[in-house]
Amino acid sequence: MSAPNVSILSKNEKKSKDMLVKLGLKRVPGIIRVAYRKKNNEIIAIEKPEVYRTPGGNYVVFGEPKVDDFTQKLAAAQEQAQASGIVPSEADVATKSPADIQADMQAAADAIESGAGKVEEEDDGEVDAGDLSNDDIELVMQQANVAKNDAIKALKSHNGDIVNAIMSLSK
Amino acid sequence: MSLNTFNAEEADNLEDIERQFAVVAVEQAETYWNLLTKIKGSKLRLTKFDDDIYETFIKYFPEYQDVERVKNFKEDELKSKERKVKWREFCGEFEENVEDYNFGTLLRTNANDEYGQEGTIFVVRIQFYAFEIARNRAGLNDWICEKN
């Protein structure tokens, strides 16, 4: 997917960068790509970003976000292959109209804004419940108001201790 | 959260750490109480080792097979000089397996009361488990859920 080349280095951005440096943020050199993985496995990637680190360990990322929706592409490609009986070449990419691309870009920009540019490490692969009981998992999900995977992970890291698992999630 | 994530580099002064200790104990008590309001104690499992903890508890302290003594006990039963020795042995049994086994934890001396200024004492986590598992098994905490 090729995105239109938009210059986003506005006056305001420059100003905010200066301010961030004054606040004690340090530029982290040598970062080539920052990828955000969202819940639905959508990947938003920023190539050649400028990354700053706060003394508290949070990160602020500047750059041009691009949606890299791998699963959607894969699904589209599979559909094509089934419908035509042949393996498609670039067909799935070509079906994206400019409007679609615009929409993706907007979605990506919104996501970055709402995330306040903070890097979050998210791992959304299906987590194996192991020998945890379903009742325990449900209880943790309800009490801490989290998704199943998070509940399983918390229970695992607390060796099945329900109270500790809930406490770790409600922080 | 366990204090395993504690970062010495970013630690403030000692006072704050001590306060943190109390905060965790209160949070643990609140979380446990919330659980009991949602699910009957008799259906609740606290750890993977509930059976072990209960068996060992009764092995060391057979007197607590008596439901009434689990329901309502005196602080001295845990903290008098002679009893302390026995409890220390009991605690040692779980050093390997039970997370936070020696963390400070609040425990109600009477299963019929809520956590309050009176009737709540400071124990280690494994003592909390021993009593609360025994109480839950006897259905002594079911009233908390039924109240709602």
What are the tens digits of pLDDT across the range B5-63? Answer: 666 666 555 666 666 778 888 889 999 999 999 889 999 989 989 999 999 999 999 99
Which CATH code fits A11-71?
2.20.70.30
pLDDT of A90 over the 80 cut: no
For B69-78, write each residue's pLDDT tens digit. 999 999 999 9
pLDDT band of A1, cuts 50, 70, 90: very low
The answer, yes or no, to whether residue A79 has pLDDT greater than 80, is no
Sign, Cα dihedral of B73, B78, B81, B87: positive
Task: Work out how many CB contacts closer than 8 A connect A with B.
Answer: 52
Q: What is the pLDDT, as a whole number, of residue B62?
A: 94
Give span(s): CATH 1.10.8, chain A: 127-171
Spatial CB neighbours of A99, under 8 Å, sequence gap ≥ 6:
none
Burial of B72: CB neighbours in 10 Å, binned 0-12, 13-18, 19+ = middle
Whole-complex ipTM = 0.77
Residues of chain A with CATH 2.20.70.30: 11-71
| Fold designation for A127-171 | Helicase, Ruva Protein; domain 3 (1.10.8)
A89 has pLDDT over 80: no
Pairwise CB contact (< 8 Å): A171 & B1? yes
Per CB distance under 8 Å, which residues of A are interface residues toward B?
Answer: 133, 135-136, 139, 142-143, 158-164, 166-168, 170-171
Residue A6 has pLDDT above 60, yes or no: no
> Smallest CA–CA separation between A171 and chain B, in Å?
8
CB contact (8 A) between residue B46 and residue A162 = yes
In this predicted structure, what is the pLDDT of residue B21? 77
What pLDDT shows up at residue A116? 46
